């Protein structure tokens, strides 16, 4: 299995993005990797399930794949929201153009 931390162990990284990659927190990297995998699995399951139901009429297998795909996509959304609230509460920089949720309540 690929260990994303091993990609950051390069003694002398080169290129324009090297400083950004080295400054990236491990939690952010793992959240991104997990959300990307869940999104891919969710899209595969939901689309394959819809095709099985629509073209073959296999409601049992297709319905199960649709449910599994939807749960995986909801898991990716939950990870993204968790990471956004964690960085907003932790005082870290939020994405450009967005205010932390606590700052918008004070006005």
Average pLDDT, the chain: 80
pTM for this model (two decimals): 0.65
The predicted structure's pLDDT at residue 96: 41
Per-residue confidence of the chain (107 residues) as pLDDT tens digits? Answer: 667 677 666 566 566 676 776 777 888 888 999 999 999 999 999 999 999 999 999 999 999 999 999 999 999 999 999 988 888 876 554 444 444 455 445 44
The predicted structure's pLDDT at residue 25: 82
The predicted structure's pLDDT at residue 98: 44
* Block residue for tokens 């932390």: 100
CA distance 9 to 21: 11
Q: What is the phi-psi region of residue 15: left when phi exceeds 0, alpha when psi lies from -120 to 50, beta otherwise? A: left
φ, ψ for residue 100, nearest 5 deg: -60, 150
């Amino acid at each position: 299995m690929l260990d994303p931390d091993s990609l950051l162990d390069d003694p002398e990284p080169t290129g324009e993005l090297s400083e950004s990659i080295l400054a990236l927190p491990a939690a952010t990297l793992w959240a991104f990797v997990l959300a990307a995998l869940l999104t891919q699995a969710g899209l595969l399951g939901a689309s394959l399930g819809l095709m099985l139901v629509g073209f073959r009429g296999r409601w049992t297998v297709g319905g199960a794949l649709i449910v599994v795909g939807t749960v995986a996509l909801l898991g990716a959304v939950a990870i993204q929201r968790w990471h956004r609230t964690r960085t907003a509460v932790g005082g870290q920089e939020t994405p450009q153009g967005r205010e932390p949720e606590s700052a918008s309540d004070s006005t």
